A and B are shown apart, each in its own frame.
Chain A
Amino acid sequence: MSIEKIIGFLRGYVEIYADGLFTERFLNVCMRREIYLWNIKRRGKHRISACISIRGFRLLRPIAKKTRTSVRITRRHGLPFIFHRYRRRKTAFLGLFLFLAVLWYLSSHIMGISISGNTRIPTEEIEKNLKNFGIHYGASVKKIDSEMVKNQMMISLDDLSWIGVSIKGSRAYIEVKERLDTKRLDDTDIPCDIVANRDGTIVLLEVKNGQTMVKVNQFVTEGDLLVSGLMDSEKVGMRYVHSFGEIFAETSYKKSGEYSLDFIEKIYSGKTKNRYTLSLLGKRFPLFNAKKSPFPHYDKEEKFIEYTPPLTFLPSAFVKTESYTEYTPKKKERTLEETIAFAEKELFALLDAEVPKDAEVLDKKITWQEAGERSITVTAEYLCREDIARQRKIDKIEILDYDKE
Chain B
Amino acid sequence: MKKRKLQEETKPTFKERVADGFDALKEIILDVPKIVFIGNREAVIENYKSITDYTEVLIVLDAEPFPLKFSGKGLEIKSISCEMLFVSGEIEKMEFLREG
Contacts and interface: CB of A to CB of B under 8 A. Distances in A.
A183 interface: no
A37 interface: yes
Interface in B47-78: 50-56, 75-78
Interface string A24-67: 10011011101011111110000010000000000000000000
B79 interface: yes
* Chain A residues touching B, range: 10 to 19
B10 interface: no
A40 B76 contact: yes
A85 B49 CA distance: 41
B80 A27 contact: yes
Contacts of B75: 42
Contacts of A27: 51, 54, 77, 80
B76 A41 contact: yes
A39 B80 CA distance: 9
A40 B52 contact: no
B90 to A, nearest CB: 14
A37 to B, nearest CB: 5
Interface in B17-65: 50-56
Q: Which of the listed residues A28, A36, A40 has the most CB atoms from chain B within 10 Å of its own CB? A: A40
Contacts of A38: 77-80, 86
A22 to B, nearest CB: 11
B13 interface: no
A37 B80 contact: yes
B54 A34 contact: no
Contacts of B78: 38-40
Contacts of A39: 76, 78-79
A30 B77 CA distance: 14
Contacts of B50: 28, 31
Contacts of A170: none
A401 to B, nearest CB: 77
Interface in A368-387: none
Contacts of A48: 54
A34 B80 CA distance: 9
A42 B79 contact: no
A28 B78 CA distance: 15
Interface of A: 23-24, 27-28, 30-32, 34, 36-42, 48
Given A34-B81, A38-B78, 7 more contacts: A28-B51, A30-B80, A31-B50, A36-B80, A38-B77, A38-B86, A40-B54
